[in-house]
């Protein structure tokens, strides 16, 4: 490096930063003046307008808590046992109302997932009755499921689902963990780039399942057939009754003689497990993606260094 | 700066081809012997980066199209099929989806670079206009591509944007129905969007060729804004620019990879993982992030037609930039006032994007209106005015002089040098 290059770059950077912040302050000042002007006349002139403005509450009423997920971050991996537990919760509880149409039984045996053995997957699939046909006589018939089949839906159509669930269709769970996420706001959404935060879905599902409250606070009216939940993204209450209770699911993992690997059978634990499972269902190749990412980025870093070195050589005798 | 061709066919086959079709000669003159100013910094590498991203988009897109089904009944599921069952389908799909964002990041930097160094000024007006056309084509392509997965945002984004045409008096409604192929966004809309989404990138390739070809007469700008005058002002494209562009492309690939592998859904909207449903309107309909500044301008005007006009005007105004800017000085490095306004404009556009993502309520509305007003003030008032009131700094007589004087004193002495030093990166 030539003499003084570093200091020059530093001063340049400092200069641009000061310039940028000056510009930012200018704009902000403009905005706050604008905001003040906006607020000022509204209050004395039209008192009716005010409650209308403040009556628009921001949902969810409570932000979801950020959980520790084994699959978060560049080196994240699913916890296979957790996925198996989460699958159990899905199968025994959620599947009564929620379909998962895009996930075939065979996926349960994939690496980087619950990773059940081939026999286990076959046995699992066989527990379901799948409609097939028409046969030679033109009749539809039911047969035990095969690994290539997809999870059957609990309701024949949306109308039936809506009718059975107080007017709301339980959403399909295949990509649900990617279809939800509470807005992160400024500046958090910028920080998320560096922390690679992509767990908004599971955080939200966990918060929703653990967030039911018996009593709605004053001023919030909950219609019959609705359940108050300050973590719900779209309103103060939703049509899903609290689906989980303590000891609702007897974890298979807890049935063996070894007490060391027992997990608590609490709503919190069920929620974490099912949220992790749903993340996997939505993104079954996540582990492959992250490990490939590491290889690619490591390669590119080295390659970038080499190319930069060649570039320096090429430009060495050209002042620029 | 285009001299006579220096191409010397070396092998028999090259000579044979060159005497029938001068393609090797064209390649040689464009990418090997082509003289580039010696003082280009890394902000000049985004053209190369854009070409790379375009190629990535076309390659991944062609393979995706082999697996995708453009039918509203199965489009959503076919995308999920790609994600789950196609070998490395997740990679292709995430690469393509994030690739569009990368495309826009690169193009915005490329455009701001052009604004800073006055790349639109004579004799490069046509180049600039071709660039704005490319930008419009990109926007159309990206918009239609976002509709293809047929999620909630696909559907409602398409509904909102196509509905804009209904603001046109008299014929508006007819045009909208014609665009939809029906009375609402539906299967015919999806089909034609897919067809056009496949077509437009090749039109982009065509315009890119013109955009690059135009350099054969004009040459590139450079941070001093002084045109190259002698052999010592320039270096051959290969290996100098080739290597510098390569560094930039690999560095950009790293940035791309970070999003692709670790944040693949960061730049998208969760609602697009919900199947399109014409009966359920999402609480906030927002376009992809790269449209947000224009979306903010659209909503800033209280009337629908006015909003549509303002939004289109915000891009159309770019076409006239070469004639709106009255300053004789090309590079912002020697324009003390313009340089300040340039950065204010950058912040202005970023703020517009921020408010474009917010619901249009409370003080956001007025803020957006002020920012929109400033956007047009920048182009229509500040640009022409600066040409008259600004006192430019003294410029170096040649690129070589600027480069050498900068290296001699090291600490920055003359105004020309101090002004030139910010442009020195790498």
- Taking 80 as the threshold, does the pLDDT of residue A285 lie above it? yes
The average confidence (pLDDT) of chain A is: 87
Question: Is residue A197 a part of any domain in this protein?
Answer: yes
Whether residues B39 and A293 touch (CB distance < 8 A) is answered with: no
Q: How close is the nearest chain A Cα to the Cα of B20, in Å?
A: 34
- Taking 60 as the threshold, does the pLDDT of residue A29 lie above it? no
Question: Is residue A122 a part of any domain in this protein?
Answer: no
pLDDT digits (tens, 9 = 90+) for A64-102: 999 999 999 999 999 999 999 999 999 999 999 999 999
pLDDT digits (tens, 9 = 90+) for A169-219: 999 999 999 999 999 998 999 999 999 999 999 999 999 999 999 999 988
| Cα–Cα distance, A63 to A231 (Å, whole number) | 7
Question: Is residue A70 a part of any domain in this protein?
Answer: no
Mean pLDDT computed over A103-119: 96
| Cα–Cα distance, B341 to B339 (Å, whole number) | 5
pLDDT given at position B6: 84
| Cα–Cα distance, A157 to A174 (Å, whole number) | 16
Residue A278 shares a structural domain with residue A196: yes
pLDDT digits (tens, 9 = 90+) for B23-45: 999 889 889 999 999 999 999 99
Question: Is residue A15 a part of any domain in this protein?
Answer: yes
Set out the domains of chain B in order of their start, with CATH numbers: 24-285 (1.20.810.10), 298-390 (no CATH), 394-421 (no CATH)
Q: Which chain A residues contact residue B155 at CB under 8 A?
A: none
Mean pLDDT computed over B410-420: 41
Mean pLDDT computed over B196-203: 98
pLDDT digits (tens, 9 = 90+) for B215-230: 888 989 999 999 999 9
Taking CA–CA distances from A302, the nearest residue in chain B reads: B250
Whether residues B243 and A310 touch (CB distance < 8 A) is answered with: yes
Residue A216 shares a structural domain with residue A299: no
Whether residues A314 and B361 touch (CB distance < 8 A) is answered with: no
Residue A266 shares a structural domain with residue A172: yes
Residue whose structure tokens are 């199965």: B74
Residue A273 shares a structural domain with residue A179: yes
What CATH code is carried by the domain that includes residue A280?
1.10.760.10
Q: Which chain A residues contact residue B358 at CB under 8 A?
A: none
User: Where does the pLDDT of residue B362 fall: very low under 50, low under 70, confident under 90, or very high at 90 and above?
Assistant: confident
Structure tokens at B277: 């449903």
Q: Report the share of chain B in percent with pLDDT over 70.
A: 95
- Taking 70 as the threshold, does the pLDDT of residue A272 lie above it? yes
User: Where does the pLDDT of residue B349 fall: very low under 50, low under 70, confident under 90, or very high at 90 and above?
Assistant: very high
Q: Based on the structure, what is the number of domains in chain A? A: 3
User: Where does the pLDDT of residue A16 fall: very low under 50, low under 70, confident under 90, or very high at 90 and above?
Assistant: low
Mean pLDDT computed over A301-312: 98
Residue whose structure tokens are 């001699």: B408
Residue A50 shares a structural domain with residue A165: no
pLDDT digits (tens, 9 = 90+) for B170-187: 999 999 999 999 999 999
Question: Is residue A99 a part of any domain in this protein?
Answer: yes
User: Where does the pLDDT of residue B163 fall: very low under 50, low under 70, confident under 90, or very high at 90 and above?
Assistant: very high
Question: Is residue A17 a part of any domain in this protein?
Answer: yes
Question: Is residue A20 a part of any domain in this protein?
Answer: yes
Strand positions, DSSP E, B360-401: none
DSSP symbol at A51: H
CA A294 to chain centre: 22
Whether residues B362 and A38 touch (CB distance < 8 A) is answered with: yes
Indicate the helix (H) or strand (E) that contains A286: helix A286-315
A140 marked among binding-site residues? no
pLDDT given at position A47: 37
Mean pLDDT computed over B369-381: 98
Residue A86 shares a structural domain with residue A229: yes
- Domain interval for residue A155: 80-103+151-284
Mean pLDDT computed over B282-290: 93
| Cα–Cα distance, A202 to A210 (Å, whole number) | 12
| Cα–Cα distance, B375 to B301 (Å, whole number) | 13
Q: Is B53 exposed, middle or buried (0-12, 13-18, 19+ CB in 10 A)?
A: buried
User: Where does the pLDDT of residue B253 fall: very low under 50, low under 70, confident under 90, or very high at 90 and above?
Assistant: very high
- Taking 60 as the threshold, does the pLDDT of residue B415 lie above it? no
Q: Which chain A residues contact residue B339 at CB under 8 A?
A: 19
Residue A24 shares a structural domain with residue A86: no
Q: Which chain A residues contact residue B223 at CB under 8 A?
A: none
pLDDT digits (tens, 9 = 90+) for A174-185: 999 999 999 999
- Taking 60 as the threshold, does the pLDDT of residue A12 lie above it? no
Residue A87 shares a structural domain with residue A180: yes
Residue A235 shares a structural domain with residue A170: yes
User: Where does the pLDDT of residue B416 fall: very low under 50, low under 70, confident under 90, or very high at 90 and above?
Assistant: very low
Residue A224 shares a structural domain with residue A250: yes
pLDDT given at position B409: 58
Q: Which of A205, A168, A225, A185 is nearest to A279 (CA)?
A: A205
Residue A318 shares a structural domain with residue A220: no
Whether residues B240 and A56 touch (CB distance < 8 A) is answered with: no
Q: How close is the nearest chain B Cα to the Cα of A304, in Å?
A: 6
């Amino acid at each position: 490096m030539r003499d003084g290059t570093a200091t020059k770059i530093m001063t340049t950077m400092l200069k641009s930063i000061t310039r940028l912040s000056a510009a930012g302050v200018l704009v902000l000042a403009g905005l706050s003046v604008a905001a003040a002007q906006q607020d000022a006349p509204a209050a004395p002139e039209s008192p009716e307008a005010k409650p209308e403005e403040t009556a628009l509450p921001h949902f969810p009423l409570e932000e979801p808590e950020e959980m520790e997920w084994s699959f978060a971050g560049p080196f994240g991996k699913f916890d296979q046992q957790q996925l198996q537990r989460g699958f159990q919760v899905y199968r025994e509880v959620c599947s009564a109302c929620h379909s998962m149409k895009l996930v075939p039984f065979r996926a349960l045996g994939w690496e980087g997932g619950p990773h059940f053995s081939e026999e286990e997957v076959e046995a699992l699939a066989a527990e379901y009755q799948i409609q097939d046909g028409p046969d030679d006589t033109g009749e539809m018939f039911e047969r035990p499921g095969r690994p290539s089949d997809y999870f059957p839906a609990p309701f024949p159509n949306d109308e039936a689902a809506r009718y059975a669930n107080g007017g709301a269709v339980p959403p399909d769970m295949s990509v649900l963990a990617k279809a939800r996420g509470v807005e992160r706001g400024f500046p958090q959404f910028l920080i998320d780039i560096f922390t690679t935060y992509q767990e908004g879905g599971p955080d939200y599902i966990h918060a929703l399942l653990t967030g039911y409250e018996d009593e709605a606070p004053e001023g919030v009216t909950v219609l019959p057939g609705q359940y108050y939940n300050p973590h719900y993204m779209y309103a103060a209450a939703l049509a899903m009754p609290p689906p989980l209770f303590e000891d609702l699911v007897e974890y298979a993992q807890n049935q063996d003689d070894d007490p060391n690997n027992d997990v608590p059978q609490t709503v919190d634990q069920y929620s974490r497990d099912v949220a992790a499972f749903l993340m996997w269902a939505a993104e079954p190749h996540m582990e492959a993606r992250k490990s490939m990412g590491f290889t690619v980025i490591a390669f590119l870093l080295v390659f970038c260094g080499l190319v930069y070195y060649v570039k320096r050589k090429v430009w060495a005798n050209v002042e620029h | 700066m285009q001299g006579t061709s220096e191409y010397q066919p070396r092998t028999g086959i090259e000579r044979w081809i060159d005497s029938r079709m001068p393609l090797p000669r064209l390649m040689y003159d464009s990418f090997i012997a082509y003289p580039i100013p010696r003082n280009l910094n890394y902000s000049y590498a985004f053209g190369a980066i854009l070409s790379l991203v375009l190629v990535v988009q076309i390659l991944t897109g062609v393979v995706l199209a082999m697996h995708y089904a453009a039918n509203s009944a199965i489009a959503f599921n076919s995308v999920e099929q790609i994600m789950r069952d196609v070998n490395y389908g997740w990679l292709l799909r995430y690469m393509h989806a994030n690739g569009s964002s990368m495309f826009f990041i690169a193009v915005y930097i490329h455009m701001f670079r052009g604004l800073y160094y006055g790349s639109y000024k004579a004799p490069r007006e046509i180049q600039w206009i071709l660039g704005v056309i490319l930008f419009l084509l990109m926007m159309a392509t990206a918009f239609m591509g976002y509709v293809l997965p047929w999620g909630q945002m696909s559907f409602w984004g398409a509904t909102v944007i196509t509905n804009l045409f209904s603001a046109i008096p008299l014929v508006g409604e007819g045009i909208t129905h014609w665009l939809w192929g029906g009375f609402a966004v539906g299967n015919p809309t999806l089909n034609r969007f897919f067809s056009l989404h496949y077509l437009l990138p090749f039109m982009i390739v065509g315009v890119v060729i013109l955009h690059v070809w135009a350099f054969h007469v004009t040459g590139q700008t450079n941070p001093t804004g002084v045109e190259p005058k002698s052999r010592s002002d320039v270096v051959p494209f290969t290996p100098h620019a080739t290597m510098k562009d390569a560094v930039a492309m690999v560095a950009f690939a790293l940035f791309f990879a970070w999003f692709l592998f670790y944040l693949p859904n960061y730049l998208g909207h969760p609602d697009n993982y919900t199947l399109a449903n014409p009966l359920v309107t999402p609480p906030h309909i927002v376009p992809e992030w790269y449209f947000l500044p224009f979306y903010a301008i659209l909503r800033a005007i209280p009337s629908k037609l006015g909003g549509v006009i303002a939004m289109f005007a915000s891009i159309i105004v770019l076409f006239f930039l070469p004639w709106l800017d009255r300053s004789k000085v090309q590079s912002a490095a020697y324009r003390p006032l313009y340089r300040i306004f340039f950065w204010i404009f950058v912040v202005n556009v970023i703020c517009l994007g921020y408010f474009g993502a917010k619901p249009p309520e409370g003080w956001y509305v007025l803020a957006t209106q002020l920012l929109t007003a400033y956007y047009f003030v920048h182009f229509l008032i500040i640009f022409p005015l600066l040409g008259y009131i600004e006192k430019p700094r003294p410029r170096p007589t040649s690129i070589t002089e600027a480069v050498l004087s900068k290296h001699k004193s090291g600490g920055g002495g003359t105004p020309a040098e101090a002004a030139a030093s910010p442009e020195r990166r790498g």
